[in-house]
Amino acid sequence: MKDTPKDRARKHLRALLVQIERHNRLYYQENAPEISDFEYDCLQAEVKSIYQRFPELEHAEGPGSDLQENSFAQVPHWSPMLSLANTYSKEEFFDFDAKLREKIAGKIAYVLEPKVDGMAINLLYKNGVFFKALTRGDGKIGEEVTDNIKTIEAIPLNLRDKTYEEIEVRGEVYISNTDFEAINTEQELLGLETFSNARNLASGSVKLLDVEEVKKRRLSFVAHGIGANSHFFDQVSCRKWLAEQGFPVFPSIDVVSSVEEAWNFIEHFHNIAPQLPYKTDGVVVKLNDRNQQATLGATAKSPRWAIAYKFEPESAETKLQAVTFQVGRTGVITPVAELEPVELCGSRIARATLHNFDEIARKDIRVGDYVILQKAGEVIPAIVAVNKARRSSEARPVVVPKVCPVCGAPLSKTDEEVALRCTSLECPEQLRLKIVHFASKEAMDIAGMGPKIVDVITQQGWVHHIADLFSLWRYRNVWITLEGFGETLVDQLLNAIEQAKNRPLWRFVYGLSINGIGIESAKNLAKAFPTLDALWTASLEELQKVPLVGHCTAQSIQCFYANVANRKVLEALNQVGFSLTTEYLDENLAWSGKSFVLTGSLQKMTRSEAKQRIEQWGGKVSESVTSKTFAVIVGEHPGDKLKKAQGLNVTIWDEAQFEDALNAN
């Protein structure tokens, strides 16, 4: 007998539910999602449309519980944590407004907020004292993650307002863009797999069993609502109360009264979202007034008075022409996708990193495949999937190399690492990158000594390792005759090299390219061991006492020093006559203890350069403006931080004023 439409729908529904369950597991439990949020939402939307056509299937084939089994205590929320209805379509968004107005007579106001791409957390307070933190779980019962959440310094342990016997603060735990980048840089240095996105890292971190590990994940929090026992009559006053209690909140309160204005905001927000310090995937639109909210009520899953308008990630399909291999500074081999050039978010993309070989295997990516590139605000486009329907019989699996593509040395892989590494200590590519790193702004800050100049001096055979930089003066006479150089430039470079002899010790330690040592761990090491000798003679146990230095890094410091080639370089550096300072400890710098906020894009320097210049003078860069902020530096297209600064009467500098201030230091 032929299947009826309902039979077909049931089969399709079952397949969808199996897929959704799998993706839930990958996302929530394994922290290794295979599909984007958008694709996941599409699966959910398909399920919803089947339920609409055949409501009887909803009970017969309903989805299983989301609740995870693990070692966290299961604790009921004081009031349920609902989800938000979401849409990707302008039409549906306008429909939401129209339906809402059918039920609400009179004026309305919407509060508009970023939809932060993080993890929902419920904070329980008893008599104004922090009591417990719970994940959303199934909305009724969450998992208790109190200790992990306590690592977030911004969450107040005591509320100013102690009038509530019980109150729940709801918000999002996330990892800021700068912290995410820093964490991935450290992972790379350790030869560990980098994390694919900040949201998964945040949610994975909240559920780690080791609090010390959680601390390293630098979690942040923003409060966006109140659960049980709120008396507020609107969203705006609720937000003000949260700010008064000391919770981080969104910097501006955007309120509109028409759907058109809301839509304009959404479009504007889409443009400025990449400038925010965290990832967002849309805008949350909430009806302001609580009585009006109560009139509308909620479905079992979500309130009828709010909606999330989500941005579709931009994607493009193109052919993977080849996979090439890059050697990194510490020898890690990274596979790179060479693509048939394609337009994505206004730029032409011809290459994308494939991260590592496990990722290629997991996504079953073959040379000759059509791959889907996606970019959702992130700077680097990623290959999210293969279009298997277009796979030809000629598509070939990627062959994992056995030797270094640059020097031909064998590659190695240890059990702890996913990365393949070139084993040669003389690999010219590693040496070149190590020199570039040593001279870089973040390390020894040798002005002008960028990759192009390093190419020249290594090609000339003048520099084989970092210590050789300090004998470059020997080649001055030939150097000034090379095309593009001349006396002025060469003397400037030689002068900059000379100045680098008086840098802080941490810069030197960071500049050595020791596996596992990033900027922060180098600073900590230099604080703990004020001389290089003290560092080299420290025991494994002593090294591991240093914050951010684990067993692997401690070992790699000792291996670095045990290596004969490295010892030779260190001896040569010793001859140079450094006077490495402990500058970072200096409390007397011009901006010591002062906090700065950057907003908008600067023309003459990148954000990280600006941050570095501020830190060089003892200042700190923070993400949010408070009355204690020393100055807000405003570039083009500033965000809401400017408004907040104006509101708080905080000093505002444009780029030129910032430069003047730097020069004055």
Phi, psi of 585 (to 5 degrees): -85, -10
CB 320 within 8 A of CB 368: yes
**Contact code string over 272-311 relative to ligand IVH, x by CB under 6 A:** ------------x------------------x----x---
381 binds ligand IVH (CB under 6 A): no
CB of 57 to ligand IVH, least distance (A): 24
Query: In sequence order, what DSSP letters do the residues of 306-324 get, joined into one string?
Result: EEEEEPPPEEEEEEEEEEE
115 binds ligand IVH (CB under 6 A): yes
CB of 110 to ligand IVH, least distance (A): 12
116 binds ligand IVH (CB under 6 A): yes
| Torsion sign across C-alpha atoms 583, 585, 591, 597 | positive
Q: In angstroms, rounded to a whole number, what is the distance separating the alpha carbons of residues 223 and 174?
A: 11
Read off the DSSP letter of residue 62.
P
Instruction: Give the count of residues interacting with ligand IVH (CB under 6 A).
Output: 13
Q: Single out the segment in contact with ligand IVH by CB under 6 A; choices: 111-119, 327-335, 441-449, 481-489.
A: 111-119
Read off the DSSP letter of residue 77.
-
Q: Single out the segment in contact with ligand IVH by CB under 6 A; choices: 112-120, 525-533, 618-626, 645-653.
A: 112-120
Read off the DSSP letter of residue 603.
S
234 binds ligand IVH (CB under 6 A): no
For the purposes of burial, counting CB atoms within 10 Å of the CB of 347, is it exposed (0-12), middle (13-18) or buried (19 or more)? exposed
Q: Single out the segment in contact with ligand IVH by CB under 6 A; choices: 113-121, 150-158, 564-572, 630-638.
A: 113-121
CB 386 within 8 A of CB 370: yes
Contacts of residue 275, defined as CB under 8 A and 6 or more positions apart, other chains included, come to 599, 600, 601, 637, 639
CB of 37 to ligand IVH, least distance (A): 10
CB 160 within 8 A of CB 245: yes
Q: In angstroms, rounded to a whole number, what is the distance separating the alpha carbons of residues 27 and 5?
A: 32
Q: Single out the segment in contact with ligand IVH by CB under 6 A; choices: 109-117, 396-404, 410-418, 603-611.
A: 109-117
Among 26, 84, 296, 400, binds ligand IVH (CB under 6 A): 84
CB of 8 to ligand IVH, least distance (A): 31
248 binds ligand IVH (CB under 6 A): no
Number of residue whose CB is nearest ligand IVH: 120
Residues annotated as catalytic are: 115
Token pair, residue 331, equals 């020898």
172 binds ligand IVH (CB under 6 A): yes
The helices-and-strands tally (H runs, E runs) of the chain is 25, 24
| Closer residue to ligand IVH (CB): 135 or 430 | 135
Among 82, 480, 489, 552, binds ligand IVH (CB under 6 A): 82
Coil/strand/helix, residue 27: helix
Among 37, 39, 97, 113, binds ligand IVH (CB under 6 A): 113
| Closer residue to ligand IVH (CB): 134 or 339 | 134
Q: Single out the segment in contact with ligand IVH by CB under 6 A; choices: 65-73, 77-85, 501-509, 653-661.
A: 77-85
CA 492 vs. chain centroid, Å, equals 37
Q: In angstroms, rounded to a whole number, what is the distance separating the alpha carbons of residues 450 and 443?
A: 12
CB of 137 to ligand IVH, least distance (A): 11
Residue type, 295: T
CB of 68 to ligand IVH, least distance (A): 16
224 binds ligand IVH (CB under 6 A): yes
Quickly count: other Cβ atoms within 10 Å of residue 262's Cβ.
23
Binding site for ligand IVH (CB under 6 A): 82-84, 113, 115-116, 120, 172, 224-225, 284, 303, 308
